[in-house]
Amino acid sequence: MDPLKLKFKEKAEALFHETRALLKEHSAKKVDEVTIKQMYGGMRGVKSMVWETSQLDAQEGIRFRGYSIPELKKLLPKAPGGKEPLPEGLFYLMLVGEVPTQKEVNWLSGEWQRRSNVPRHTFAMLEKMPLDTHPMTQFSMAILSMQTESVFSQRYSEGMSKSEYWDATYEDTMNLIARLPRVAAYIYRRTYKNGNHIEPDISLDWGANFAHMLGIEHPDFKSLMRLYLTIHADHEGGNASAHSTHLVGSTLSDAYFSLSGGMNALAGPLHGLANQEVIKWVFKMLDVLGTRKPSKAQISEYVQKTLDAGKVIPGYGHAVLRQPDPRFTAQRKFAEEYIKDSDIINVVWKAFDVVPPILQGLGKVKNPWPNVDAHSGALLVHYGLTDFSFYTVLFGVSRAMGVLAQLCWSRALGFPLERPKSVTSKWVNEFLAQQPVEG
Ligand code: CMX
């Protein structure tokens, strides 16, 4: 058994027994009540799921196993000479709850290289897709096409015991994450670079090798990818991509089915596709205004026009957060450190000053602040990755780490099929009619 799997096994056995004891003693305790508004309003804030890998605080933002992004930037191992955390380290932390050593992270980089072989039929399947198929469609289908390799499905069909589910899921998780950069880079190169593919460089870490296979050779782009893949990895369990992965997985669908489901949720414009929408919106604004250096007053006017047209301002707002997203701030800090004077980044920063008061003025937007998607496009454009429709795939490669680490936990803790109760409008009206009249 590999050292990470062994560590996970020990932790999982301990938490499994702890959880059984907790359920025996406290099953009937209530942690929440659901309002009519929450039922009709996308279940905001309803505490109904356990998610080990990260937790989101509305004011403070995301913490991965208790660590904030600035803390992780200091604590997680780096590539030689690099300043950004290695995403492998975050996966390790999410999976076993311990900050890994450099040696442990180096082992994981090598292990993912070892497991990174993509089945040939995945590339053949992609080649059959029209070139203008959205990269997220290609990505989700490519993940699904690799389901033929699922260790979980194979062992399930052979009669695996429930106690081994976590083991097979760990194998699928490691294989799948290892293969994603190659798959994503293949989609990128076939869609935008005439199928001129770049072979992996096995001397590189997971994020840097991805940057290399995309074909963007600026050394700072490798650093950006390491940071990007770290900060997008998880956002507790209720967000749409995480929750979709979790829901599909709860049927004992394997990691491939589950992640593909999660990616389909990430592809929506209110979720991961917002990173593509932000940069499209910025460039449209620059075109309409006829300048690369718009004033704050010009941006303000364009924001108002967007709202008047009945559209949202992409990259702003959040279902849970009520402050600027620390993932936005981390990207801003990266830009301040690595990039001197970029028009497009200046526009993003000016928008940060202009958009929140306008959204606040609408009186209905609960969070007027930028989210993770407000900044990423400008950084990617700076390094020459200007194919906007690919951006959500980058998000997806990172998100796989959080949702699949959690899938291992869901299997280890024996979480059952997810099946919340729904009611009809008629039921709601009858329920209300039975309530005592207030006042
Ligand atoms: N621009 C304009 N209006 C906005 C807005 C924005 N950025 N954010 C919220 N609103 C509006 C909502 O559309 C809603 O209007 P209606 O009542 O007319 O339907 C109202 O304000 C209240 O919404 P909310 O409670 O503040 O926000 P929700 O929890 O319903 O939605 C989110 C959250 C992210 C979908 C929303 O803020 C949004 O659409 N933002 C733009 C898209 C975006 O950036 N998504 C990416 C989020 C991060 C990620 O998942 O990647």
**How far is 420 from 238, CA to CA, in rounded Å?**
14
Close Cβ partners of 149 (under 8 Å, ≥ 6 residues apart): 119, 175, 256
Confidence (pLDDT) at 360: 97
* Catalytic annotation present for 205: no
Give the number of C-alpha atoms closer than 13 A to the C-alpha of residue 207, restricted to the C-beta side: 32
Confidence (pLDDT) at 217: 87
Residue among 37, 40, 318, 369 to mutate when testing ligand 1 (max atoms within 8 A of CB): 318
Q: What sections of 291-390 are H helices per DSSP?
A: 296-308, 326-338, 343-362, 373-382
Catalytic residue, from 134, 205, 373, 382: name it.
373
Q: Is the CB of 372 under 6 A from ligand 1?
A: yes
Confidence (pLDDT) at 68: 97
**How far is 186 from 28, CA to CA, in rounded Å?**
50
**How far is 287 from 278, CA to CA, in rounded Å?**
14
Residue among 270, 280, 355, 360 to mutate when testing ligand 1 (max atoms within 8 A of CB): 270
In one-letter notation, the amino acid at residue 336 is E
Confidence (pLDDT) at 294: 97
* Catalytic annotation present for 373: yes
Cα 279 to ligand 1 centroid, rounded to whole Å: 17
Confidence (pLDDT) at 62: 97
Report the atom number in ligand 1 closest to the C-alpha of 374: 44
Cα 35 to ligand 1 centroid, rounded to whole Å: 20
State the fold for domain 274-387: Cytochrome p450-Terp; domain 2 (1.10.230)
Same fold yes or no, 1-27+38-271+388-418 and 274-387: no
Report the atom number in ligand 1 closest to the C-alpha of 316: 7
Report the atom number in ligand 1 closest to the C-alpha of 366: 26
Report the atom number in ligand 1 closest to the C-alpha of 271: 50
Instruction: List the beta bridge partners of residue 63.
Output: 55
Report the atom number in ligand 1 closest to the C-alpha of 307: 2
User: DSSP code of 163?
Assistant: G
Catalytic residue, from 246, 318, 375, 382: name it.
318
Give the gyration radius of the chain's Cα atoms. Answer: 22
**How far is 305 from 313, CA to CA, in rounded Å?**
10
Name the closest-CA residue to atom 20, ligand 1: 365
Cα 317 to ligand 1 centroid, rounded to whole Å: 5
* Catalytic annotation present for 2: no
Confidence (pLDDT) at 159: 98
Which CATH number is 1-27+38-271+388-418 given?
1.10.580.10
Q: What is the pLDDT along the chain (439 residues), one digit of tens a residue?
A: 999 999 999 999 999 999 999 999 999 999 999 999 999 999 999 999 999 999 999 999 999 999 999 999 999 999 999 999 999 999 999 999 999 999 999 999 999 999 999 999 999 999 999 999 999 999 999 999 999 999 999 999 999 999 999 999 999 999 999 999 999 999 999 999 999 999 999 999 999 999 999 999 899 999 999 999 999 999 999 999 999 999 999 999 999 999 999 999 999 999 999 999 999 999 999 999 999 999 999 999 999 999 999 999 999 999 999 999 999 999 999 999 999 899 999 999 999 999 999 999 999 999 999 999 999 999 999 999 999 999 999 999 999 999 999 999 999 999 999 999 999 999 999 999 999 987 6
Catalytic residue, from 271, 325, 375, 382: name it.
271
List the domain boundaries for the chain: 1-27+38-271+388-418, 274-387
Q: Is the CB of 118 under 6 A from ligand 1?
A: no
